[in-house]
Amino acid sequence: MRHPTVMWFHLPFGLHADVALDIVSLLGMVLSLAASVGFGNQVVVFGMWLSYLSIVHVGQTFLSFQWDILISEVGWVSVWLSRPPGQLPAAEPPTSAVLLLRWILFKLMFMSGVVKIQALCPTWLALTACHYHFATQCIPTPIAWYFHQLPDIVLKLMVSISYIVEIPATFLILVPLRPIRLFAAALQILFQVAIILTGNYTFFNILTIALCLSLFDDTVWRGTTRPNARRVGAKSAPTPGTHSDVLMDGQPKSRKSAVRRQKKISDRPRLISKPDAAAGQALPENCSVEEDKGACTVPLHQRLRHWSEQHPCWTIWALGILPLAFAATAMFTISTAPVFDVRLRVTPQGLQKMVVAVLPWAIGYWGVVLAVASIMDIIGSSRNDTPARQSAKAARSLWSSVICLAVLGTYVANIPSILVLDHGGMGQRLESQAPLLKSVAASASRWSLASSYGLFRRMTGVGDSGEGRRVARPEVEFFGSYDGSTWIPYSFSYKPGDVGRSPPWVAPHQPRLDWQMWFAALGGAHLSPWSVHLAKKLLEGSPAVMDLLGSDLNQAFRESLPQYVKADLYVYEFTRPSWGRERKGLDGLELAASDHNKSSDWWVRQRAEVYLHPVQKGQLESFLEHFGWSTSQQQELESRFPRPAHSLALASRITDILVSLAHSSRVHTMWTVSFLICCSIGCNVWSLLRGFVKHRQGHVQTRRGAGREKVKIA
């Protein structure tokens, strides 16, 4: 199946495509609500993933964003991360699935950083990308206007930090030590929060933060440290091979010193003598009895992990901050004369050599880690402490094996997607030596199980050679007219239009029409044929399209349809206040932004060229017929699959009600999303409180039962 989607079934069932799409969307919403209140087993998560995948594959241009592919890839792994049907929610998830999520996070961030240098974009190479980014991103936030006014050196340092976070810091994700993982998660989360504050990137940043949660463990949420008894053995009476307790003096200072000495002693890996081990004393986990020394020692890797968790600050400094500082000195050059400046030292050729040298080792290392984790998951499922029949344990082990095979297969299919960083070198050699891998990767790509990423590889809206002097954000503006001479602009809810309107807050919602208008402005109408179809819908006064523009906008065209529609290309730039004029070399539009605008304006714009010449009804049929959008083709489709008049029309009716409720306010998105998030958090908190109360009740009953047993024995 080249385009896997359940939407294919609307043909044999005789359903209209819109009705089938409504049914799939409503099904995904119901399953999402069920998962948020504690019913998120593998069947429910699989239904969520399949629903979204089906919509993405029929969404074409409007669902072709990288985060649509990312959520499909993460959703597939989440199927194996969730619990099987019938299993308790408190069951521990497979470690291999958690590790695969970490690999997806590494791949996403590492590729996003490397492609910025590989693309040879002059703004990224000159560290001037942020001079354009805040004003030229799809839908900026109000805070982006203030960031755009910052001095040159601050904007260059922002680009430098993004390089560090996206390239060398991503390798900290793969480090097995817990403090380093937490440090890497903190870096990535702070980076995503900064992006959220300055740009409306839908759910992408929230999804990336969710991936960062795979670097945490339950200890973080409990706010406690793991007990040392499990690693170093239970406390016992002093023996020749163990440390004895420290006698407490009556003086306060002596007691404090004794406590500090005792804490240092208890934190050390303990040694248990061979006679004590033979006598039946409990041994530490993963320890072995040394024949020559007659003692049980904790393995080196356990000592290292134990030391790192007892001294997280030293671990982060030694294995986190210092390596990043070394990487920063290798990547950048800092000069202080004649002015303080930072420049990129690494070249695209040097970065390519690093990728070729390091990437195979990272892929092989993580493959071994995943394989070992999968084996441990299978062994752990067979050694489950829960009493069960032999057949139930065998079924549990079999299903755990299926999960591990799915995880390992997904990882193998992901290998070619990251090897594209070598521009086909390693990937082509690997596919030529393993033809099966090529077919597996192709199938995984069709099902959105593995994909390559590379956000912002080239900066748009660059009006010069990359020096950061001239910002030229292209925007398409549609106009309607009743007589062909007087033109009235169409207003969009979120994209820049009126220069006096503030940039909106809209994330995590994505107004996809406004987003696609940003892409349409990067090329002509022939490169975005859907924009011509949009002009036809504006001439017809389509209610659905008018609602996409804004339910409370364009009232004149709702009451009376225009006779002509055209589109012009404008160039936008943020205005500059008096305190933001320190940037040197301003010219053209920037001078207008600095000197010739009202203090209340957010934007300044200039008309650049014609995007779409004035058109009337009937003039676009021949062009739209090539894409299947002509009126006659739509009427033929309606006759073949008429909209149902009764039962199945309920899905469309429910969707219409939800849309009408959503468009009741300009801030509908934030309120709706906030309400749903609060409901989800409330349900989960309620579930946690109920579980805690039940746990406490069971603990009290256990203690009472133990007390009764003691009384009986006495």
Contacts of 50 (CB under 8 A, 6+ apart): 6
Q: Which stretches does DSSP call E strand in 473-622?
A: 473-481, 487-489, 564-574, 603-615
Q: How far is CA 103 from CA 93, 366, 372, 444, in A?
A: 17, 8, 15, 16
- Inside any domain, residue 425: no
Q: How far is CA 84 from CA 53, 60, 99, in A?
A: 21, 33, 19
DSSP for 150-163, written as a single string? S-HHHHHHHHHHHH
pLDDT of 414 reads 92
Share of the chain above pLDDT 70, in %: 71
pLDDT of 232 reads 39
- Classify residue 605 as left (phi > 0), alpha (psi -120 to 50) or beta: beta
CB 215 within 8 A of CB 182: yes
- 128's tokens: 């001037």
Q: How far is CA 511 from CA 9, 492, 493, 558, in A?
A: 28, 10, 9, 21
For tokens 């539009």, name the residue.
Answer: 589
Which sign does the torsion angle of CA 270, 271, 277, 279 carry?
A: negative
| Cα-Cα end-to-end distance for the chain | 73
Residue 2 has pLDDT above 60, yes or no: yes
- DSSP state, residue 575: -
DSSP-assigned beta bridge partners for residue 343: 333
Predicted TM-score of the model (pTM): 0.81
Which sign does the torsion angle of CA 635, 637, 639, 641 carry?
A: negative
Contacts of 690 (CB under 8 A, 6+ apart): none
Decide: residue 693, CB within 10 A, 0-12 exposed, 13-18 middle, 19+ buried.
exposed
Candidates 219, 110, 170; CA nearest to 320 is 170
DSSP for 625-691, written as a single string? HTTT-SHHHHHHHHHHSPPPSSTTHHHHHHHHHHHHHHTTSTTHHHHHHHHHHHHHHHHHHHHHHHH
For tokens 């009337």, name the residue.
Answer: 616
Computed on alpha carbons and rounded to an integer, the radius of gyration of the chain in Å comes to 31
Q: Identify the weakest region by mean pLDDT among 70-74, 239-243, 550-554.
A: 239-243
Q: How confident is the model at residue 677 (pLDDT cuts 50, 70, 90)?
A: low
Candidates 514, 560, 511, 556; CA nearest to 534 is 514
Q: Looking at this protein, which amino acid is placed at residue 491? A: S
Rounded distance, CA 363 to CA 369, Å? 10
What is the mean predicted confidence (pLDDT) over 67-76?
Answer: 95
- Inside any domain, residue 492: yes
pLDDT of 348 reads 93
Q: Which residue has the higher pLDDT, 238 or 485?
A: 485
For tokens 């001078």, name the residue.
Answer: 591
pLDDT of 214 reads 94
Residue 262 has pLDDT above 90, yes or no: no
Contacts of 145 (CB under 8 A, 6+ apart): 134, 503, 574, 575, 602
Tell me phi and psi for residue 120, to 5 degrees: 60, 30
What is the mean predicted confidence (pLDDT) over 234-260?
Answer: 44
Share of the chain above pLDDT 90, in %: 47
Q: Which residue has the higher pLDDT, 258 or 180?
A: 180
- Inside any domain, residue 522: yes
DSSP element (H, E) containing 344? strand 341-344
Sheet of 272-273: strand order equals 272-273, 295-297, 288-290
Residue 519 has pLDDT above 90, yes or no: yes
Residue 646 has pLDDT above 90, yes or no: no
Q: Which residue has the higher pLDDT, 372 or 664?
A: 372
- Residues 614-644 have pLDDT tens digits of 999 888 887 888 777 766 766 666 666 555 5
Rounded distance, CA 631 to CA 646, Å? 26
- Residues 9-20 have pLDDT tens digits of 877 777 778 888
Q: Identify the weakest region by mean pLDDT among 124-138, 235-249, 292-306, 687-701.
A: 235-249
Q: How confident is the model at residue 339 (pLDDT cuts 50, 70, 90)?
A: confident
- 41's tokens: 């087993």
Tell me phi and psi for residue 462, to 5 degrees: -90, 115
- Inside any domain, residue 554: yes
pLDDT of 704 reads 62
Candidates 288, 295, 234, 224; CA nearest to 266 is 234
pLDDT of 236 reads 40
Q: How many CB atoms lie within 10 A of CB 560?
A: 10
Residue 567 has pLDDT above 80, yes or no: yes
Q: Which residue has the higher pLDDT, 198 or 234?
A: 198
Angle, nearest 10°, between helix axes 204-212 and 66-81?
30
Candidates 66, 155, 63, 167; CA nearest to 111 is 167
- 384's tokens: 């489950």
Residue 552 has pLDDT above 50, yes or no: yes
- Classify residue 645 as left (phi > 0), alpha (psi -120 to 50) or beta: alpha
- DSSP state, residue 547: H
Give yes or no for a cis peptide into 508 (omega within 30° of 0): yes
- DSSP state, residue 504: P
Mean pLDDT of the chain: 80
- 340's tokens: 């303080």
Residue 665 has pLDDT above 50, yes or no: no
Q: Identify the weakest region by mean pLDDT among 430-434, 479-483, 489-493.
A: 430-434
Enclosing domain of residue 508: 473-629
Q: Per the structure, how many domains does the chain have?
A: 1
- Inside any domain, residue 530: yes
